[in-house]
Amino acid sequence: MTSETARIPFPGRLVIVGFGSIGQGVLPLLLRHIDVARERIAIVTADGRGEEVARAAGVSWRRVTLTPENYHAILEPLLAPGDFLLNLSVEVSSLALIELCQIAGALYIDTCIEPWAGGYTDDALPPERRTNYVLREAALALRRKYAHGPTAVLTHGANPGLVSHLLKQALLNIARDSGRTRVPPTGREGWAALAEELGVRVIHIAERDTQLARAPKHPGEFVNTWSIDGFVAEGCQPAELGWGSHERHLPPDGARHGSGCGAAIYLKRPGAATRVRTWTPNEGPFLGFLITHGEAISIADYYTRRQGAEVAYRPTVHYAYHPCDDAVLSLHELAGKAWRKQSAQRLLMEEIESGMDELGVLVMGHAKGAYWFGSQLSIQAARRLAPCNNATSLQVTAAVLAGAVWAIENPARGIVEPDEMDFARILEIASPYLGDLVGAYSAWTPLADRGRLFVEDVDADDPWQFKNFRVT
């Protein structure tokens, strides 16, 4: 799909909850690709950001903070069968909005599973209760409750979301390049079998953001290229990762969950205080933060093969993120202030002068070593492709657009995760906005050049053990 393609007809109303960088960035894409009357678009947001963007687009804009006490009264009049709610907010319960849409007969999409305000950072909650694993299990319980409801797409931003579709294409590319050309599998059992057949052990969502702004970060300021509130919240959550069947060393600060799918573990430390080794084609090897994301759990679960009650195969999956350099400085300062967010915040958009966001899946352990497949999107390309976006936000908004179009085309699928959607259709819609889609093989492993300066405790017999990736 390109900007010249005929728009998808949609006679219902679009309700956008939250209008920060992603909401503002996705609106022009929705108007470009979905044929909906502008007077049928309503924005509900908690702060004053984006009012000029909404007014210029000719859509309704209302400033109100949604709470457990008022969200029914505010949103119910806006939703009827066939309408669509795009949840791009922070600190508004995804579970509450999903259930509201299921009862109203409206479509739904979000980019992560959010709790109400404080749900990520409440010091009174034990670490396990603040994990994405627990939130996902609660969302899947709603799926069982509303088995035949309207389509509700969970966690469909860049990651989680787009990366699940990039992974499927990466697996097909590896199969082709290994002389195992085959038609794409049609279900989770087939995809798990393909990953196991290829020998995939570890999957990183490996991202390096090199965007630079004219003005550097100042003391007492948090700077980022996407939602600052969202990044701080997830960075303060415990680090989480899908736990592979090949792993031999449970981390000393690691813990398993006592219920649910059992596909992931969590660490008793914030993701923004946990670093891992990873690799992308442009950057080469680097250290990223093991920030918790829903895809670490859903991908690990989707690619699990069981024999009876036992797990026979599962890859280790996690995010490995190096944000823009000013965001790294911001995280360092945040940690030094006992994880209390800085009073000043700056979201980088027009002042970015150079750089790109390199976001993809690093698939490791197969016969060809490591393979990265993903988007290399420069700030210059992002500005040519869509207004109100930088390179990071456009990777997210393109995925939101693709998920929304898929939901309109498939309106009765119930509550679904990205791994269960048509990856080829999603990539068809999103790819024109992703810059260069690149696949690159590498002989890199987390043991490369280890011990050059000092001796470390590694598992030299198996480079793909998590303890080799983790920086201790």
Q: Give the integer Cα–Cα distance in Å for 454 and 417.
A: 43
Q: Give the integer Cα–Cα distance in Å for 369 and 448.
A: 13
Q: Give the integer Cα–Cα distance in Å for 398 and 384.
A: 14
CATH no. for residue 82?
A: 3.40.50.720
Residue 191's pLDDT is: 98
Q: Give the integer Cα–Cα distance in Å for 146 and 167.
A: 29
Mean pLDDT for 84-92 is 97
Comparing 209 with 4, which gets the higher pLDDT? 209
Residue 305's pLDDT is: 98
Q: Are residues 103 and 233 in the same domain?
A: no
Q: Give the integer Cα–Cα distance in Å for 455 and 341.
A: 36
Band (pLDDT 50/70/90 cuts) for residue 449 is confident
Does residue 259 carry a pLDDT above 60? yes
**pLDDT of 308-356, one tens digit each?**
999 999 999 999 999 999 999 999 999 999 999 999 999 999 999 999 9
Among 108, 100, 94, 106, smallest CA distance to 138 is for 94
- 21: domain range? 8-153
**pLDDT of 174-194, one tens digit each?**
999 999 977 899 999 999 999
Among 88, 172, 148, 185, smallest CA distance to 393 is for 88
Q: Are residues 33 and 131 in the same domain?
A: yes
Q: Are residues 146 and 167 in the same domain?
A: no
Q: Are residues 342 and 267 in the same domain?
A: yes
Contact (CB, 8 A) for 196 and 360: no
Q: Are residues 125 and 264 in the same domain?
A: no
CATH no. for residue 236?
A: 3.30.360.30
Residue with tokens 């319960």: 93
Q: What pTM was computed for the model?
A: 0.97
Q: Are residues 14 and 98 in the same domain?
A: yes
Residue 1's pLDDT is: 42
Question: What is the DSSP code (8-state) at residue 259?
Answer: S
Domain-ending residue, one of 153, 183, 198: 153
Among 53, 44, 46, 41, smallest CA distance to 349 is for 53
**pLDDT of 349-399, one tens digit each?**
999 999 999 999 999 999 999 999 999 999 999 999 999 999 999 999 999
Encoding tokens for residue 303? 């690619």
CA distances (Å), origin 10, targets 112, 152, 182? 24, 16, 36
Band (pLDDT 50/70/90 cuts) for residue 5 is low
**pLDDT of 97-126, one tens digit each?**
999 999 999 999 999 999 998 877 777 889
Contact (CB, 8 A) for 415 and 139: yes
State the total domains in the chain: 2
Q: Give the integer Cα–Cα distance in Å for 350 and 353.
A: 8
Which residues have C-beta within 8 Å of that of residue 454, sequence separation ≥ 6?
none
Q: Are residues 196 and 91 in the same domain?
A: no
Q: Are residues 142 and 176 in the same domain?
A: no
**How much of the chain exceeds pLDDT 70, in percent?**
98
Q: Are residues 223 and 76 in the same domain?
A: no
Band (pLDDT 50/70/90 cuts) for residue 453 is low
End-to-end CA distance of the chain: 45
424-429, long-range: CB < 8 A, 24+ apart: 424/184, 426/162, 426/165, 426/399, 426/402, 427/165, 427/166, 427/169, 427/402, 428/1, 429/1, 429/33, 429/398, 429/401, 429/402, 429/405
Among 97, 94, 148, 155, smallest CA distance to 119 is for 94
229-232, long-range: CB < 8 A, 24+ apart: 229/20, 229/90, 229/91, 230/90, 230/112, 231/323, 231/327, 232/334, 232/341
Backbone angles phi, psi at 67, to 5 degrees: -135, 170
Which residues have C-beta within 8 Å of that of residue 260, sequence separation ≥ 6?
133, 134, 137
Q: Give the integer Cα–Cα distance in Å for 166 and 426.
A: 10
